[in-house]
Chains A and B, each alone.
Chain A
Amino acid sequence: MMYRNDFASGRSCWKPSLVAMLLTLLLGFSLSAMVQAAQDTGGESVAQRIAPVGQVWVEGEPAPETEPVAEVATEEAPVYVAPRPTRKDYPDIGVSSRAVVWILAQMHLFFGALVLAVPLFVLIIELVGQSTGDERYDDMAHEFMKISLTGFSITAIFGGTLALALFVLYPDFMGYMMRVFGAQWIVYAGLFFLESFFLYTYYYGWNAMRYGNLKWLHLTLGLLLNGAGMTIMVMANSWATFMMAPSGVNEVGAIVGNIWEVMKGPLWNPVNLHRFIANIAFGGAVVGAYAAFKFLSTRDPAKRAHYDWMGYTSNFIALLAFLPLPFAGYWLMAEIYAYSQQMGITAMGGILAWLFIVQAVLIGTILLAANYYLWAGMSRTEGSSRYQWLIKYIALILVVCFLIWVTPHTLLLSATEIAALGGSHHHYLGPLGIMPAKNIAVNLMLIVTFLSFQLYRRSDKVATVSWAPAGNALLVAIYVVAIVNVIFLGVYFGYFTNTVYKVGSSVAQVASTLVVIIAGIVIDSLMFRGARTLPSHWGRIPDRAQYALFALPIAFTWLMGLMGYVRSSVKTHWHVYTVMQDNSPDNFIPTIGYAGNMITIVTVLFLLFVLFMFWIANLGSSRQPVPVRAAAMEGVA
Chain B
Amino acid sequence: MSVLIKTVGFSLGLTLVFTGVANMLPQVEGDAPVDVKVDLSALTMDDFVAMGEDLFNNKGTCTLCHKPAPLGRAPDVQGTNMVAITTERLADERYQGKATDAASYILESMLEPSAYVVAGWGKKGSDDAESPMPAVDKPPIQLSDIEVDAIIAYLQAKDGNEVTVALPSPDAAAEVAKSDAAPGGAGAAPAPAASGEEGLAKYTCTACHALDSDDTLVGPGLGSVGARLSEGEIRQSIIDPNAVIAEGFPAAMPGDFAEKMTVRELEMIVKLLAEKKQ
Contacts and interface: CB of A to CB of B under 8 A. Distances in A.
B28 A354 contact: yes
A588 B21 contact: no
B201 interface: no
Contacts of A531: none
B97 interface: no
A297 B7 CA distance: 11
A615 B32 CA distance: 45
A23 B120 CA distance: 62
Interface in B1-39: 3-4, 6-8, 10-12, 14-16, 18-19, 21-23, 25-33
B267 A412 contact: no
Contacts of B6: 296
B108 to A, nearest CB: 19
A293 B6 CA distance: 10
Contacts of B187: 573, 581
Contact of B192 (A252, A361, A573, A581): A252
Given A81-B192, A84-B183, A86-B183, A351 B14 contact: no
Contacts of A604: 12, 15
B253 interface: no
Contact of B30 (A81, A251, A572): A572
B75 interface: no
A207 interface: no
B51 interface: no
Interface residues of B, number: 51
A424 B76 CA distance: 15
Nearest to A337: B132
Contacts of A34: none
Contact of A84 (B12, B138, B188): B188
B191 A84 contact: yes
Given A341-B65, A358-B21, A600-B16, A252 B28 contact: no
B79 interface: no
Contacts of A574: 140
A79 B266 CA distance: 12
B139 A254 contact: no
B25 A500 contact: no
Contact of B26 (A352, A354, A595, A600): A354
B103 interface: no
A558 interface: yes
B61 A342 contact: yes
Interface string B184-215: 10011101100000000000000000000000
Contacts of B19: 596-597, 599-600
Contacts of A77: 264
Given A550-B10, A572-B140, A582-B32, A603 B15 contact: yes
Interface in A54-88: 74, 77, 79, 81, 84, 86
Interface in A560-585: 569, 572-574, 577-579, 581-583
Nearest to A413: B26
A203 interface: no
B172 to A, nearest CB: 23
A345 interface: yes
A369 to B, nearest CB: 10
B89 interface: no
A361 B21 contact: yes
A294 B198 CA distance: 71
Contact of B22 (A579, A583, A592): A592
B8 A607 contact: yes
A551 B14 contact: yes
Given A79-B262, A581-B188, A588-B32, A345 B64 contact: yes
Contacts of A74: 267
B7 A346 contact: no
Contacts of B133: 341
Contacts of A358: 18, 21-22, 25
A541 interface: no
A592 B18 contact: no
Interface string A582-612: 1100011111111111011001100100010
A594 B27 CA distance: 9
27 contacts: A79-B264, A86-B184, A251-B189, A252-B192, A293-B4, A342-B140, A346-B64, A349-B64, A349-B71, A351-B30, A357-B21, A550-B7, A554-B15, A558-B15, A573-B32, A577-B140, A581-B189, A588-B30, A588-B32, A589-B29, A590-B29, A592-B23, A595-B22, A597-B22, A603-B15, A607-B8, A607-B11
A-B pairs, 5 with minimum CB distance: A596-B22, A589-B30, A573-B32, A578-B139, A591-B27
Given A499-B73, A581-B189, 15 more contacts: A84-B191, A251-B138, A251-B189, A293-B4, A342-B64, A350-B64, A412-B26, A500-B124, A550-B7, A551-B10, A572-B32, A591-B27, A596-B18, A597-B19, A599-B22
